[in-house]
Amino acid sequence: MRIPLGARAHAGTAALLAVLTVAACLLLSGIPRTTQASFDEALRRALVAAPAVETDLTVVGEVALREGELRERAQFEAADRRWRGFLPAALRPLIRPGGHMSAKTVSTPVTGSRGTTFVNLGWLSDADRRVDWTAGRRPGAPSTTSVAGTTVPVIEVGVAEEATRAMGLRVGQTRALGDSTHTVVRIVGVYRAVDPGDRAWSHDHDILHVSHVVSPLGPEEFHTTTLMSDEGLAGLRSSGRNLTYRWILPLDERAVSAQDVPDVGAAVAEFKRWPEFERTGTTSYRVITGLPPLLGDFQGALSAARTVMYLTLGGLLAVALGVIALGVRLLTDRMEHTLAVARARGGSLRQVAAAGAALTAVAVGPAALAGYALAFLLPGPVSPVVHAGPALVVVVAVAYAVTRVVRAHRTPLPERRDDLVAARPSARRVTAEALAVVLALAGVYLLRARGLSGDAGQDPFLLLIPVLLTVAAALITMRCYPYPLRLLVRLTRGGRAAVPFLGLTRAARARSTGALPVLILLPALSVSVFAATIAEGIAATQRAASWQKVGAPIKLTSDVDIPADAIARVRDAPGVDQVALALTGRAQITATGERPLAIAVELEQWRQVVGDAPVDLPALSGSASALLSPALGERGTFEIMWLAPAKLTTQGLIDSLPGFDPGGQFLLMPREALPWPAANTLLIKGDVAPADLARLVPSATVETQEQALAAIRADPLTGTVRTTLLVVTVALGLYALVAIALSLVVGAPERARTVSLLRTLGLSDRQAVRLTLLESLPLTVITALAGLALGLGLPAALGPGVDMSSYAGGLPVGDFSPSPLTPVALTAGLVLCALACAHAHQAAVRRRDLGAVLRVGDRA
C-alpha cells in the first residue's frame, strides 16, 4: 500500500486525528510546565516574604579561649571561604556570593548603670554600604587609656539615631563597659540605615534599634549595639564578655526550585552537622537557619497541589488517549476495504499491519511534534513529564492501529457479524473485571482506614485508587447498561411503533463498539466533575476562612480605646449600616492570677453585622455568662479583674472566635458585663471605603473580608490549583463531546445502511432521527450519570489524601457539595451534542441513493 496515496484518500480523517493529537500533546506538555513554574514562583515568594534571618545560613562562632579570637578582616574572609567549602553540592548553587560577617558582644553593661543600660560592641563587614553617618564621623583605630591603674583599650564607635533618642547617647561621650574587665568606648558618630527595608537587617536588628526589656523581677533595661571600624577588631577581646562571630551565607531565592525542596532540606541538615567535627577547643561553631521549617510548610502545600495535578492530569491523559484511539479506529475503519483487498491479493499480515502503522504515524507523528513544540511557548521548566506525554501519545496511537489491523485481517476476507447477537464475554474476562472492581473498593477502604504513607503525602497508593475506581465504574457501566434497555425492549415489543423497538434493540446489544466510548466518557465526566467539585469546595472554604479571619465585612481595630465621638462619626458615616462594639484586653482571674485575653462583644449587634455570612457566632445567655477556651477549662463561677472586678459564670468552651484569633487562654463575655463603656474594636457592616474609616479613627487599622479573601486567593499555589482544575474541567468536557461525536461517526456506515434500508420501507426523516437518538443516547445518558456519580464521590473517597487547607486560609476543605450548574451543564452539553450528531447523521443519510443501497446491501 502506498502511504502518500492512502494519506490523500483519508485526508479528512487524518486531519481530525492530527488536530486531536496536537491538542493532547499541548495539554500534556504545557500544563506540567506552567504548574511547575507557578510552584517555583510560589516558593520564591514564600522565601522572599520570610525574614532573611530565617532563610539564610548563619554560621555562629562562640569564642571560648583567647586563642580563638579573630582580630583582622582577613581572618573573617578566610573563615568565610572555609565555610562555603563545606557546603553540600545541592546547596552551593543556591548560596549567593557576598553576604556579610559580624562580630558582636552580648549583654555588655555600662559600668555603674546597675544593670539598666547595655552597650554592646559590634562590627559589620559591609557597614560602609549599609549605613549613612548623619553626625560626627566614622570610627577609627582604637587607642588605650588607664582605668584604676590598668591600661584598657578605647574603641571608637558609632551609635544608631534611635539610641540617641531612647538612651541619651551623644557624640563625644565616653562610656566604660563591663563590671570587672573594662573596655572604654568613645562615641564619635551617629548613623542610620541606607535602606531600612533591606532584608539583611533582620540579622542585625540590634544595630539599628534599641531593645527595651521590662522584667517583673527587676528594673527595665535598654540594650543597643554600636558599630566599630575594621581597626577596632584589634581591641575587641572575649574575656569578661560574650563574644560571638557570625558569617551570613545568603540564600539566592531566585535559584531555588520547587523540585529542589527535598534535596535542599537534606543538604541543610548535612551542613548543620559539620560543626560537630570542627571543635577546636578555642571556638565552638554551630549553624543557625529557619530554612527547614519554611521548606517543610511549603512542601506540605506543594504536596496537595501535586496530588490534585497528578489526579487531574492522569484523567486527562487517559481521556485524551481514548479519544485519539477513537480517531485511530475511525482511520483504520476507513482503510479496512483497501487493506482487505491487499490481504486477499497475497499481502502478508506484517505488510498490512505496517501499512496501517505507517499511515497512523504520518497523521500522529508530526502533530505530536507540533503540540510538543507549542508547549515550549508556555513558561516553565522542562520536566520528564513534558517529554513523556507526546511520546506516549504516539506510541499508543500506533500500537492501537497495529492491534486493530492485525485483529481485523488475521485471515483474508473474514466474515464477521457483530450486529446480530449480543457478545458473550468469556469466564476469564468476567473474572478479571470482577477482580478489578473488588480491588478498587478494597483500595478505597484501605486508603480511608490506614491514611497516607510516604514523604509529604505523595503516596503512590493515593494516585492508583482513582484509576482503579474509574476502571471499575466503567466496567460496571459497560456490563450493566444493556439490561435496563432490554427491559424497555420487551415493553416496546408489542407496540405499534417500530422505531422505539428497533432503536432500543440496537442500543441494548452489548457490542464491542460501545466499550471504548464508555471508557472515554466515564473518566472524562468523573474527573471533570471531581475537578469542579474540588474547585468549588476550595472557593467556598476560602470565603469562610476570610470571614473567620475578619469576623465582619469590615473590622476596625485600635491599640487604645476609641473615643465615643469617633464611634459616633463611624456610625454616621455614609454607607455604614450596622456597628457592633467590642473590647479586648488582658484580664486577671482573681483566684489563680492567670491573665487570659478577655473579649467583650455586643453579640446581638454582631449577628446583625454578619447576617447570613458563612461564620458561626457563639451564643451567651445572660449578661454575666462567659465562654472559655479549652486552655482555661471549666471554671464554674469565677471573678476577674479588668480595670474593675466582674463576676462571671462559665457557660461552655469554645476553640476559636471569628475575627479575633485569640489562641491560648481567652474568654468571651457580653459587653453588657463591663462596668464601663469602652471599645477598641468596631465590627462594621456597610459599603464604605476603608480609607474613609481610617481617617475617622486615625489610631486604628482597618481590615475587610474582601481584602482577606483576595489575599488568600493571591497565593501562587492557590491560583495554580484553581487554574489547573478549570483548564482540566473545560478540556475534559470538550473531550467528552468529541468522544460522542466520534463514537457516532465510527458506527455511521452501519447505521446509515440500516436507516437507508428502512427508508425503502417507508421510514420518514423524523423517524430516522429518533432511531439514531434511541440507539446512541441511552449509552451516553447512562455513562454520564455514572460519571457524575463517580465524580461527586471521588472527593469523599479520597478525603484523607487530598488536604486542600493550604489553599483555603488554613481551614479544612470538607464541603464538597457542588452547585447544580456543573452537572446540569455537562449533561445538557452531552444531550445537545447527541442531538446535533443525530441530525447531522440523518442529513448525510438523506443524500444517499436508495437504489444503490438496494443493489449493494446484502443484509437487512
Q: Rounded CA gap, 241 and 103, in Å?
A: 12
Q: Rounded CA gap, 151 and 460, in Å?
A: 72
**What pLDDT was estimated at residue 776?**
73
Question: Which bin fits 761, alpha (ψ -120 to 50), beta or left (φ > 0)?
Answer: alpha
Q: Rounded CA gap, 468 and 461, in Å?
A: 10
Average pLDDT over residues 571-597: 88
Q: How many helices (H) and strands (E) does the chain have?
A: 25, 23
Q: 80-115: per-residue pLDDT in tens? A: 998 898 899 888 999 988 889 999 988 888 888 777
**What pLDDT was estimated at residue 303?**
76
Q: Rounded CA gap, 265 and 308, in Å?
A: 23
Which grid coordinates are listed for 574?
Answer: 455614609
Which of 3-7, 140-144, 786-790 ranks highest by mean pLDDT?
140-144
Q: Rounded CA gap, 433 and 439, in Å?
A: 10
Q: 310-314, 694-698, 827-831: which range is least confident on average?
A: 827-831
Which of 59-63, 137-141, 238-242 ranks highest by mean pLDDT?
137-141
**What pLDDT was estimated at residue 396?**
92
pLDDT at 251 over 80: yes
Q: 171-218: per-residue pLDDT in tens? A: 989 988 877 667 888 999 999 999 988 889 999 999 999 988 765 556
Q: Rounded CA gap, 199 and 386, in Å?
A: 36
What backbone torsions phi and psi does residue 401 show, to the nearest 5 degrees?
-60, -45
**What pLDDT was estimated at residue 125?**
92
pLDDT at 456 over 50: no
Q: Residue 247: helix, strand or coil by DSSP?
A: strand
Average pLDDT over residues 747-768: 72
**What pLDDT was estimated at residue 803?**
64
Q: Rounded CA gap, 285 and 86, in Å?
A: 13
- With bands split at pLDDT 50, 70 and 90, how would you rate the model's confidence at 159? very high
Which grid coordinates are listed for 349?
Answer: 499480515
Q: Rounded CA gap, 347 and 361, in Å?
A: 20
Q: How many CB atoms lie within 10 A of CB 776?
A: 24
pLDDT at 228 over 90: yes
Q: Write out the H or E segment, with its range, that includes residue 163.
A: helix 161-166
Instruction: For cell 457539595, name the residue.
Output: 817
Instruction: For cell 488475521, name the residue.
Output: 410
Average pLDDT over residues 464-471: 78
CA angle 748, 750, 753 (to 5 degrees): 105
Distances (CA, A) of 7 to 188, 358, 366: 89, 10, 13
Which grid coordinates are listed for 194?
Answer: 541606607
Q: Rounded CA gap, 754 and 764, in Å?
A: 13
Instruction: For cell 504515524, name the residue.
Output: 361
- With bands split at pLDDT 50, 70 and 90, how would you rate the model's confidence at 859? very low
Distances (CA, A) of 815 to 542, 796, 820: 11, 9, 15
**What pLDDT was estimated at residue 857?**
45
pLDDT at 671 over 50: yes
Q: How many CB atoms lie within 10 A of CB 240?
A: 15
pLDDT at 421 over 60: no
Instruction: For cell 486542600, name the residue.
Output: 804
More confident position, 156 or 772: 156
Residue among 463, 442, 441 nearest 452 (CA): 463
- With bands split at pLDDT 50, 70 and 90, how would you rate the model's confidence at 372? very high
**What pLDDT was estimated at residue 186?**
92
**What pLDDT was estimated at residue 7?**
67
Which of 375-384, 600-609, 723-732 ranks highest by mean pLDDT?
600-609
Q: pTM higher than 0.85, yes or no?
A: no
**What pLDDT was estimated at residue 817?**
66
Taking the chain, what is the end-to-end CA distance rounded to the nearest angstrom?
32
- With bands split at pLDDT 50, 70 and 90, how would you rate the model's confidence at 157? very high
Which of 147-161, 353-367, 434-448 ranks highest by mean pLDDT?
353-367
Residue among 782, 772, 768, 769 nearest 747 (CA): 772
Q: Rounded CA gap, 398 and 358, in Å?
A: 8
pLDDT above 90 as % of the chain:
15
pLDDT above 70 as % of the chain:
85
Delimit the domains of the chain by residue range: 58-288, 560-698
Q: 330-369: per-residue pLDDT in tens? A: 888 888 878 877 777 777 888 888 888 888 888 899 999 9
pLDDT at 860 over 50: no
Q: Residue 505: helix, strand or coil by DSSP?
A: helix
Average pLDDT over residues 529-551: 84
DSSP string, 554-583: EEEEESSPPPHHHHHHHHHSTTEEEEEEEE
Average pLDDT over residues 145-168: 85
Q: 357-371, 729-743, 764-778: which range is least confident on average?
A: 764-778
- With bands split at pLDDT 50, 70 and 90, how would you rate the model's confidence at 452? low
pLDDT at 631 over 70: yes
What pairing do the DSSP bridges indicate for beta strands 645-653 and 625-628? parallel
More confident position, 457 or 310: 310
Mean pLDDT of the chain: 81
Q: Rounded CA gap, 726 and 722, in Å?
A: 6
Q: 482-517: per-residue pLDDT in tens? A: 778 788 888 777 777 777 777 777 777 655 455 667
**What pLDDT was estimated at residue 853?**
53
- With bands split at pLDDT 50, 70 and 90, how would you rate the model's confidence at 297? confident
Cβ burial of 495 (10 Å; 0-12, 13-18, 19+) is: exposed
- With bands split at pLDDT 50, 70 and 90, how would you rate the model's confidence at 321? confident
